[in-house]
Amino acid sequence: METGSHSGPHPVSEAQQRVEEKLVQNVLDSFERCQDPRLKQLMQSLTRHIHSFIREVRLTEAEWNAAISFLTAAGHITDDKRQEFILLSDVFGASMQTIAVNNETIDNATEATVFGPFFVEDAPEIENGGDIAGAAPGQPCWVEGSVKDTAGNPIPNARIEVWEADEDGFYDVQYSDQRVSGRAHLFSDADGNYRFWGLTPTPYPIPHDGPVGEMLEAVGRSPMRASHLHFMVTAPGLRTLVTHIFVRGDELLKHDSVFGVKESLIRNFEEQAPGTAAPDGRDLGGLSWARTRFDIVLAPTGS
């Protein structure tokens, strides 16, 4: 990812500043007739920030053309299974900042984190205690917990979407055979509890064979994500929660490529020795397995 060379900041004359400021004002004025107040605010604020960046770094034409080529490449690689612009938003921390702005911490409500590019609508439904793995490779992991509101009331019939990568770091949408694995949805029971079998999360890289990966390499950043399991939880009258849980002890917790880790979402994944009885009596064929608990608290709608 080449941007060309630049000698760095240099003094800008007052006459040149007036030329640049006049252009900014002309662009701002062009949005004055916008009938939508919010759209007008967004466009004018974006204009100020873009022009401020260009003027602060004294952007060269070669650098601007490189940026346009980068965005063009991101568009070309994006399809119905690969969203390069979500990756771009993620690695700049823009996704996490937007989530922070829109999901203020409320009492003891579970914190939100990034959605990621691998959610798929219409994941299969499983019963409580079912298996989301779908034969994907990895260590079996028993996940259980409760869904409550901030007052501690159990939430029955909350819809819980879960999805994760296999031990090789791939989501099912990255497989070539179109099979569904590592994802499902289930509902909390009458007491607000849920449970399922999944896979013990492992670290994996975000897709880095495109322009975002080239950018990360150019700036010396890793594409690796800390080990995690995705959740999206919905229930009437309560704020939709999009979050992950992370594995305590993972060395990538402080270096997650999309800045998604929050301390409150780190969980113990307790290793179980081969032959240890499973909580539901499942025959694990003498394999080791893990277990974790994630109690979910949903904030009220509008909070």
DSSP 8-state class, residue 174:
G
Give the start-to-end residue ranges of the domains of the chain. Answer: 14-85, 88-298
Half-sphere exposure of 47 (CA within 13 A, CB side): 19
Q: Which residue has the tokens 């070539």?
A: 176
Q: 8 falls in which pLDDT band (50, 70, 90)?
A: low
> In Å, what is the CA distance from 29 to each residue of 22, 23, 47, 52?
10, 10, 11, 16
pLDDT confidence of residue 92:
97
State which CATH number among 3.40.190.10, 2.60.130.10, 1.10.357.10, 2.30.42.10 fits the domain covering 88-298. Answer: 2.60.130.10
Task: For residue 66, give both structure tokens.
Answer: 């490189």
Rounded to two decimals, what is the model's pTM? 0.88
- Is 5 a residue whose pLDDT tops 60? no
**195-231: per-residue pLDDT in tens?**
999 999 999 999 999 999 999 999 999 999 999 999 9
* Alpha helices in the chain, H assignment, sequence order: 14-29, 37-57, 61-77, 84-91, 94-102, 211-218
CB 279 within 8 A of CB 291: yes
**256-275: per-residue pLDDT in tens?**
999 999 999 999 999 999 99
Cα separation of 252 and 204, whole Å?
A: 10
- Is 4 a residue whose pLDDT tops 90? no
**123-147: per-residue pLDDT in tens?**
999 999 999 999 899 999 999 999 9
CB 251 within 8 A of CB 236: no
